Amino acid sequence: MAISPQQGSMASTSGPSSTMYSLKPFYTDDNIVLPDVMYKMKSFYGSEDVKKPDGSTGYDIDALEKRQEAILAKLSELQKEVQKLSNSCPPTLSQKRESTSGAVIDEIIEDVVITANPSSPPLSLFVLYQLLQQQLRTVGSMHVHSSVTSVPENLKVFQNGFQSNRRDYQLAITLIWKNVNHGPELMVNPHKQSPVQGEGNMARYLARLLSPGYDSVDPITATEIDVFVDIATNQLLHGNSKEKAAALRGLNSKLGSSSWLVGSDLSLADIVVWSALQQTGQAGGAPANVQKWIKACNNNFAFKLALSVMS
Amino acid sequence: MADANAENEGPLGPDGKPISKKALKKQQKQAEKAAKKEQHKQAAGGDGNEDAEKEDFAKDFYGKCPMNQSQERVERDLVPVQSLILELAEKKKDEKIWCRGRLHTSRSKGKQCFFVLRHQHFNVQAIVAVGERVSKQMVKFVAAITKESIIDVEGYVRKVDQKIESCSQQDVELHVEQVWVVSAAEPRLPVQIDDLSRPESEDDLAKVNPDTRLDNRILDLRTATSQAIFRLQGGVCRLFRDTLTAKGFTEIHTPKIISAASEGGANVFTVSYFKGSAYLAQSPQLYKQMAIAGDLDKVFTVGAVFRAEDSNTHRHLTEFVGLDVEMAFKYHYHEVMDVIGDLFVNIFKGLRDNFQTEIETINKQYKSEPFKFLEPSLRLEYPEAVKLLRANGVEMGDEDDLTTPAEKLLGRLVKQKYDTDFFMLDKYPLAVRPFYTMPDPNSTKYSNSYDMFMRGEEILSGAQRIHDPDFLSERAKVHGIDLEKIRAYIDSFRYGCPPHAGGGIGMERVTMLYLGLDNVRKTSMFPRDPKRITP
C-alpha cells in the first residue's frame, strides 16, 4: 500500500508551499522480492567450486580412469583363467530330472512311498512300476505296517528291495500295506506336501515321473487321458452300478473305433481303466470291444507283475 | 471378688505359689465337667457300660498274627484277588474263601466298614458289618488297620447289583468275617499310593516329584503302572532271548571287571583291585568279538554296562542293562542287519500281541501314541537321510554326524513319510565312527556301519568290525590310538577270525521309547545316574 509522500506527511495543501515536517520515506518503491522458501539452508553437497590446497580441482579424472582400466584388465585376466579351467574340466551333465511332480531324480535315490490297503491293491502301480524300470534305475520294496497282522502271499511283491545296494538306483518305490481308507496314498516329502490320495492321482504322479514333459508337450492328449482316469476312479471304482454300466458302455463305443483309449498306443488312460475294471471284477462281464482290449493289455509285458498280484 | 481374694491365699498350686484367680476358675470348671460326665455315664448308664463290658464274641476272628516264622504249614487255599469274579461268586455261593492282599483304603461308618483289598493292580471292595459273627470291636479294629498292611481275610464272595467303578473287580464284593494282619505298615506313609498313580494331566491335585518317587521306590513299584512297566520290560528281555535262541544264537556272559578301558578311556569307572586298579566294562564289545574268534558263531549277552558319563539327561544312566548281539556272517554284513531288523520286529510284535493290557494301564497314567513299525524293518541309507534333511532346511555336510535335533527331525520326517517309529540308517560316514569299523569298499567316505532309531532317538549303534589285525592297526594309527593299549584286542584276531558284525541296545531305553515315556528312570527299577546311587 503505497502512501504518497504527500499524504504521509500530513501536509495541508493550503498555506505556505513547503511542508511542516518532512519525513524521509521509510520504504522504497523498488520491487520487493518476496521469499519463496521459509528458511534457506546451505547446499548439502558443498559448493561447486571447492579448491584443493594445492590448487587443483577435487575430481581427479585421470586417477579414476587409471583405476577403471586396471580393474578391466584384471577382469579380462580372470576370464582367461576361468576359460582355461573350464576347458580342462568340462561340466558333467547332471541327470537332474525335475518333473512337475517335484520329485528330484538325481544321483541320490528318491523314495516314493505308497501306502495301500491290502484288500484293494492298486494294480496300476505295478504296471507303472514296470514302465518306470525301463527308463530309470528303479527298485521296489514292500513292507507290512504294524496295524495289519498279515497279508496274503500274492501281495508280497518287490522282494528285491533288500538284496541290492540302494545307492545304485535312482528311484525307489516303497509299498506299505496298511489299513488306509480312501484309496492308496502317495508321499514323497512330508514337509512339502500333504498325501496324494486315490489311485487315479497316484497314477498321474507316476506318469509325470515317466515323462516329465507330460503337461507341456501335448495338453490335448493329457486332457483326454485325464478324462479316462476320472472315469476309472469316479465311475468304475467308486460309482454305483448304474454309473458303472454307463461307463462300460462309453468305453465300449470308444474302443469300437480304436484299439486303445487315447491315441494309437498304450497310455496312462488304458492302465488306470484296466486296473479299475480288474479290481472291481467287471472284466469278466464286460462288452465285446472292452474284452478284446483287456486281452491286448494282458498280453503287454508291462502288465505281467500286476497280473501276478491279482491271482 | 473380695471373698475370692481372701480364699486365694489358701490353696497353693503345684509350684508352691498361690494359684491365680484364673487358674482357680479353670480348676473349678474342670471339676464341674467331670461331675457332669459321671452323671451322664450313670444315666446313659446301663447301655454304655454294658457295651464296654459286653463280651467280644468275635474275639477269635480278628487280630494281629504273630510274626511268621514258618510256625506251621497251613493247608489253606488263598484265592488271588484277580480271581474274585462273578463266576466264582456263583460257584462258591455259600462257601467262605480266604484271600490275602494289602489294605488300600478303608472307610468306616458306625456299624460298617468298607475297605479295598489290593494285590498288584487288582483290587476288590470288601465290607465288614456288625452282625451275628462280627462284633463292634472287630469293625473298629478293621477301621484302625494302617494302609498298606498285608492282611488275610475270610468271607463270602457276593454279587453286587451296581458295578463298582473304582475297583478292578467290578462285579463282586467280599463280605468279610475274619481279618488277620500278617504284616502291619507304619501309620505315616512317606507318599500315598493314590498320588503316585495319578495321571499327569490333572493339574490341581497333588503330584509327586520324580526324586521323591525314586527315594520311595518300594511304594512307587506298587502302583499298577510300575507293575505294568516292569512286566513289559521282562517281556522285552524274554522276547530278545527267545527270538535269538530260535535263530541259533548262544547266550554268553562277559566279564565286567577289565584291565584296560576298551573304548575311549574317558568314561570308565575305576575300581580298586587288590594291589592295583581295574575298570568296569563300558560294553561287552571286545569279549563278544573274542567269542566269535573262538568259533561260537552267533552270540548274545544280557548284562550290566557301566558308563561314567556325567550327562544328566532324560536318556542316560551310569549303569544299565545292555542287550548285545554279535554274529559271524558269510558274505555281506547285511545278513546281520536282516537278523537284527527281524529281531526288533519280533520284539515289537510280541509286545503288541501279548502285553496289550499292560500298555493300556501305562497309557492311563502316561499318555502316548501307540508304537508303529513296518515289517520288514525300514532301511534307509545315510545319503538319503541327508537329502531328506537338506530338503527340510537342515544344513549339513555329506560327512557330518547327525546332531540330536537332526536325529529328532529325521525321526519325525520318517514318521510322516513312512508312518513308522522304528527304522535303520545304513552307511554312516567313516569319519564319525570308531576305529574298528570296517570302511565301505566302494567309497572312502562311508563305512559299513548302521544306527537304529526308535521315535527319533538312537537305540543301537553297530557295524561290521575289522577282523584283520594289520588293517586294524592301520586304522588305529589313523585315529591316533596308542597300539600298546589295545595290543590284546588286536592279538585276538591273529589266529583267523570270521568276518562279523553286531550291535548293542539298552533295555531301559528300548522300553522307554516303545511306551513313549519321557524319562529312562521310569523304566529302570533302581536307576543309577551321576546324582543317585541309592536305593
**Residue positions of B annotated with a catalytic role:** 307, 309, 315-316, 458, 461, 509
Whether residues A171 and A241 fall in one domain: no
Quickly tell me which residue has 561340466 as its cell.
Answer: A91
DSSP secondary structure of B309-326: ----STT--SEEEEEEEE
Structure-model confidence comparison of residues A212 and B239, the more confident one: B239
Residue A237 domain-assigned? Answer: yes
Whether residues A227 and A297 fall in one domain: yes
Give the amino acid at B483.
Answer: L
A23 burial level (CB within 10 Å; 0-12, 13-18, 19+): exposed
Residue A90 domain-assigned? Answer: no
In CATH terms, is domain B60-183 a member of 3.20.20.70? no
Residues in chain B with pLDDT < 70?
1-18, 43-54, 201-204, 261-266
B60-183 and B224-522: identical CATH topology: no
Range of the domain at A173: 110-210
pLDDT of residue B353: 92
* Boundary of a domain, candidates A210, A236, A260: A210
B419/A176 CB distance under 8 A? yes
pLDDT of residue B261: 66
Alpha-carbon dihedral B444, B445, B447, B453, rounded to 10 degrees: -170
For B24-49, b where at least 16 C-beta lie within 10 A, e where not — what string? beeeeeeeeeeeeeeeeeeeeeeeee
Q: B452 is written with which cell numbers?
A: 537304529
pLDDT average, residue stretch A46-57: 54
Residue of chain A minimizing CA distance to B442: A167
B299 burial level (CB within 10 Å; 0-12, 13-18, 19+): buried
Domain B224-522, architecture per CATH: 2-Layer Sandwich (3.30)
pLDDT tens-place string over residues A93-131: 444 444 444 556 667 778 888 899 888 888 888 888 888
Residues in B closer than 8 angstroms to A113, CB to CB, are: 417-418
Distance CA B251, CA B249 (A): 7
Q: B282 is written with which cell numbers?
A: 563300558
* Boundary of a domain, candidates A186, A210, A234: A210
Residue of chain B minimizing CA distance to A116: B418
Q: Establish if B371 touches chain A: CB-CB under 8 angstroms.
A: yes
A109/B420 CB distance under 8 A? no
pLDDT of residue B16: 65
C-alpha A35: how far from chain center: 61
Whether residues A145 and A174 fall in one domain: yes
Whether residues A203 and A114 fall in one domain: yes
In chain B, domain spans:
60-183, 224-522
Residue A114 domain-assigned? Answer: yes
Contacts for A188 with CB less than 8 Å, ≥ 6 apart: A101, A102, A103, A110, A111, A112, A113, B417
pLDDT of residue B496: 92
> How many A/B residue pairs have CB atoms within 8 Å?
69
Distance CA B392, CA B382 (A): 15
Residue of chain A minimizing CA distance to B352: A146
Contacts for A260 with CB less than 8 Å, ≥ 6 apart: A266, A267, A270, A293, A296
Preceding peptide of B535 cis, ω within 30°: yes
**How many other β-carbons are positioned within 10 Å of the β-carbon of residue B494?**
11
Quickly tell me which residue has 527308463 as its cell.
Answer: A135
Residue A48 domain-assigned? Answer: no
What is the nearest CA distance from B335 to chain A, expressed in angstroms? 10
Instruction: Let me know the angle formed at the C-alpha of B350 by B348 and B356, rounded to the nearest 5 degrees.
Output: 95
* Boundary of a domain, candidates A158, A181, A210: A210
Residue A119 domain-assigned? Answer: yes
Residue A59 domain-assigned? Answer: no
pLDDT of residue A8: 45
Q: B22 is written with which cell numbers?
A: 484364673
Quickly tell me which residue has 467262605 as its cell.
Answer: B96
In CATH, what number is assigned to the domain containing residue A195? 1.20.1050.130
Contacts for B142 with CB less than 8 Å, ≥ 6 apart: B62, B106, B108, B113, B115, B128, B176, B179
Whether residues A159 and A183 fall in one domain: yes
B338 closest CA partner among A186, A159, A9: A159
A111/B375 CB distance under 8 A? no
A109/B388 CB distance under 8 A? no
pLDDT of residue B293: 92
DSSP-based three-state secondary structure for B119: strand
Query: Whole-model pTM above 0.90?
Result: no
pLDDT tens-place string over residues A241-295: 888 888 888 888 888 888 888 888 888 888 888 888 888 877 777 788 888 888 8
Alpha-carbon dihedral B167, B173, B179, B185, rounded to 10 degrees: 0
pLDDT of residue B45: 52
Q: What share of chain A in percent tops pLDDT 70? A: 82
Residues in B closer than 8 angstroms to A145, CB to CB, are: 372-375, 419-420
pLDDT of residue A98: 47
C-alpha A16: how far from chain center: 105
Total of domains in chain A: 2
